A and B are shown apart, each in its own frame.
Chain A
Amino acid sequence: MTTTLSEPAPATTKTRPKRDRRWLRVAIPFAVLLTLVTGTLIVHAVERPDADDAEFLSPVSSAGIGGRQLADRLRGQGVTVTRETSTTDALASMNSGGPAATLFVTTPELADVERLSRFAALPAGTRVVVVAPTSVAINTTHWPIDQRGDRWTTAVTGPGCADPVATAAGPAAVARLRYTPVNTSSCYDGSLLTVAQDGVTITVVGAEDPFRNDRGGEHGNAALATGLLSQTSRVVWLDVHHRETLPTTSPTTTQPPTIPPQTLPTISESASESASPIEITREPRERPQSQSEPNPLAEAFPSALWATLALLALALLALAVAAARRLGAPVTEPLPSRVPANETMLGHARLYQRARARDASLDVLRAAARRRITAHLGLPADATLADLAEHAGRDVDEVREILADSYPDKDAELVSAAEAVQNLVREITGFEGDQS
């Protein structure tokens, strides 16, 4: 089967000009490459854990990306783990007195880290451990840290520093984001950095892998995570999975001093409607501008995009104009008639059929047959059936049966009757078809 199918194929490819497929040689490798790159990017984006996910590094989640095993390990070492779901609550919990505590920030992109970095926001002696903050998150803070570079995936490196926690843990999967400044407290090729500001010790970790349930058992991940968080007797675990809104009246003494009290209610209203509160708090002077320009779509995209779109529209318009002008309009001429000569006849036939005029059709056929037989036998035009039968040497009853009696009730009977008429004519005249 395959051989018979494959044999004619070369013939067709030979006859076809080669030029038609030449572009394929260029297009196919690029298309394959493009598909591979696009597919890889999509798979990578899908596989990365999402900070919006409620399971992500949550102390109560036992999913693969959760952090329950870490929390259990800490509790096993006698550390109190307090889960807070907002920055405000976390700050309240940190400032509630007692011994120095560790604030564990799992989602710095979503949590309001700017507030954490304010002067005197946290009591002295506090440790802050931040998981994989990008430059966007770091730039909102006042911490003397910057992100230097990132990797496609997390790499395992040795500690390469004198930090006791890191050396105790050994090689760990931390190296994805790297931070500057590189100083003596910088471990794991710049992925674990500890700085001190205003009496608060800030540690940034380059990847979330050491804290995850499914990666805790690999290398020295568990030891590193536990070591980082068990320096104090209490850990406040900030478990935020939505972009933080501006806190309203805080019960604590750390009232934000930059915001005037009279603007607070309006801002809080707009914030509760889940607009973009971070931008509003940072740049409150933009509000009057947005009121005078009510179209949010125009502001949503840069004007370069609109300009490019306008130019594209102009180019397409020019293309349409160029294509519209023809080199000479089509020439018209009257066409000859397409009506076939026998159209009326076929129309008659269909009318007979639609009206089921079996008797009428058969009568026409019988009359034609009688004329032919009469002409063939040389009889006068008004010869009777008996005369016909006698001259043709046939049985009178049979001829009468075929040419006069028996009208059909069904189409099948009509067909057999018509065939009988035709056969009778052929037998008597010995001639087929029209003899005129």
Chain B
Amino acid sequence: MITRRFAVLLAIGLPLPALLPAPWLAVGGVLLVVSVLALIDLIIAGPLDGLRLSRDGDRTVWLGNTATTVLTVTNTSGRLVRLSLRDSWVPSAGAGSTRHELELEPGASETVTTTLTPTRHGDRLAARVTPRSRGPLGLAYRQRRQGWNEKVTPPWTLRVLPRFPSRRILPEKLARIRVLDGSVVARGRGHGTEFDVLREYVIGDDVRSIDWRASARHNDVVVRTWRPERDRRVYCVLDTGRTSAVRVGDAPRLDATIDAALLLSVLAARADDRVDLLALDAAVRTRVEGGGHRVQLPRLIDAMASLEPALVETDFSLLGRELLRRDRKRALVVIFTALDTAPMIEGLLPVLPRLAARHKVIVAGVRDPAVARMASLPVKARAGDVHTAAAAERVLFERDRVRDVLDRSGATVVDADADTFASRVADVYLLLKATGGL
């Protein structure tokens, strides 16, 4: 292929037809000379077949941070290669400068660094590396077809972990877990139900918690202490259907639910509960079950990172099939979804009573703060504002009705704005933990 220099060289020959006696011959001469030069340039340009590409660098990054990947180009051919190279990524990977200029001696290898600042969570792919070998004059170059480029590109996937804005309220919630532990010791039988340890009686302890048998053995008054239940199961169910794709504020609703599920998972893992994850829309998208306490959390985060909303109706009968299996133990099932009328009444409601009979069910819906804001009239209202307020009131009324219906079917409903959603879900979990409701 030819470069712009080729055209410039032709343009430099423009006065020749006017100056020389045979104009058409001059045109042919200019064309011939430039073409021969370009052909020589093309022949001298180094071959692309001898290039070997390999990649190294970050595999995961939190959304909002910057990752770097290093592409190593090795010239295994016996000729000098002057290379222009483009390292293409998908647009949401936020790649910085993707064009690089290299000059590789035979057998030499060089590295080019691409910095990535992703704009969405999930898997971001390296699409292709396109090398272009230029000749010494810069008149012509060698470049292969797109399919060939994709074949030689070393595959690479950068997993972008979801934004976790609730991280800032995590210390507060963890402190409440610790308080929960301590309060059990102070209040004796308290809210915990699980036997912890025997210790000597101190004044102020509840006399009802004295273990008389142990006291007899020890010649001292010994009390039993209790702690909150451990090794309970928390089952996070993420709805990735069409209602999770819509935007609340400036992010998809799924981002808010992922944030809340992450907070709940971290809390539950710290409180020594087992956390499982199920993401589903028309089919089960992700399932993370089993594994130890400490191994589980990174796996959960990794699984949540790859979730994307699908524009399909969520099939909650899948959820029933998963959770009503005979070998399932009782668990706290937290369903992260949206409290829209149709999917709730037609999808979730039929399976909810059976679920609630076996498990403790929480239905957590992210609310759009704009609806409540529009339901009240602005200062200088116009007719359009009144109609908007009426429409908003209608939505609020329907949501209240859905909440009542779900409540009556045995579920606990959490309905909160996107900014307080994670905190509210965590509060419900902590409350259940404190009251031994798990």
Contacts and interface: CB of A to CB of B under 8 A. Distances in A.
A428 to B, nearest CB: 15
Interface stretch (B127-135, B187-195, B286-294): B127-135
B14 A311 contact: yes
Nearest to B384: A353
Contacts of A418: 377, 381, 386, 389
Interface stretch (A147-155, A192-200, A339-347): A339-347
Given A327-B86, A328-B128, A415-B381, A339 B245 contact: yes
B437 interface: no
Contacts of B2: 318, 321-322
Contact of A368 (B373, B384, B385, B393): B393
Interface stretch (A125-133, A158-166, A355-363): A355-363
* Dominant SS among interface residues on chain B: helix
* Dominant SS among interface residues on chain A: helix
Contact of A415 (B6, B15, B23, B382): B382
A311 to B, nearest CB: 5
Interface in A270-318: 302-308, 310-312, 314-316, 318
A398 interface: no
A319 B7 contact: yes
B246 A353 contact: no
Interface in A318-354: 318-319, 321-323, 325, 327-329, 331, 333, 336-343, 345-346, 348-350, 352-353
A310 B27 contact: yes
A352 B24 contact: no
Nearest to B15: A308
A307 B120 CA distance: 56
B395 A353 contact: no
A338 B390 contact: no
A419 to B, nearest CB: 6
B386 A415 contact: yes
Contacts of B149: 328
B30 interface: yes
A20 interface: no
Interface string B290-332: 0000000000000000001101000000000000000000000
A269 interface: no
Contacts of B92: 333
A331 B88 contact: yes
B383 interface: yes
A360 B390 CA distance: 8
A352 to B, nearest CB: 4
Contacts of B154: none
Given A331-B91, A419-B377, A336 B245 contact: yes
Contact of B247 (A323, A328, A341): A341
Given A322-B3, A432-B376, A304 B23 contact: yes
Contacts of B31: 311, 314
A423 to B, nearest CB: 10
Contacts of A337: 245-247, 252, 309, 311
A348 B7 contact: no
Interface residues on B, range: 35 or more
Nearest to B34: A318
B377 A311 contact: no
A139 to B, nearest CB: 23
Contact of B246 (A322, A343, A436): A343
A414 interface: yes
A304 B18 contact: yes
B26 interface: yes
Contacts, number: 190
Contacts of B156: none
B11 interface: yes
B389 A311 contact: no
Interface residues of A, number: 59
A433 interface: yes
A368 B1 CA distance: 71
Which of B17, B390, B391, B400 has the largest number of chain A CB atoms within 10 A?
B390
Contacts of B146: 329
A382 B429 CA distance: 35
B372 interface: yes
Contacts of A353: 383-384, 387
A362 B6 CA distance: 74
Contacts of B383: 353, 358, 411, 414-415
Which of A411, A418, A434 has the largest number of chain B CB atoms within 10 A?
A434
A343 B248 CA distance: 11
A414 B13 CA distance: 79
A63 interface: no
Contacts of B130: 327-328
Interface in B229-271: 245-248, 252-253
Given A336-B252, A339-B246, A357-B387, A325 B143 contact: yes
Interface in B363-394: 368, 370-377, 381-394
Nearest to B250: A340
Contacts of A362: 386, 390
Nearest to B254: A336
Contacts of A312: 11, 14
B91 A433 contact: no
A422 interface: yes
B388 A346 contact: yes
B170 interface: no
Contacts of B276: none
Contacts of B60: none
A349 B388 contact: yes
Contacts of B357: none
B389 A345 contact: no
A364 interface: yes
B24 A303 contact: yes
A365 interface: yes
Nearest to A318: B7
B368 A368 contact: no
Contacts of A314: 10, 27, 31
24 contacts: A305-B18, A308-B14, A308-B18, A310-B27, A315-B7, A315-B8, A315-B14, A322-B1, A322-B6, A322-B7, A323-B4, A327-B132, A328-B128, A328-B129, A336-B309, A338-B247, A339-B246, A342-B368, A345-B395, A349-B387, A353-B384, A353-B387, A418-B381, A434-B376
The 7 closest A-B pairs by CB, nearest first: A307-B23, A328-B130, A411-B383, A361-B390, A307-B17, A315-B10, A319-B7
Given A322-B6, A341-B253, 6 more contacts: A315-B10, A323-B4, A353-B384, A368-B397, A414-B386, A433-B373
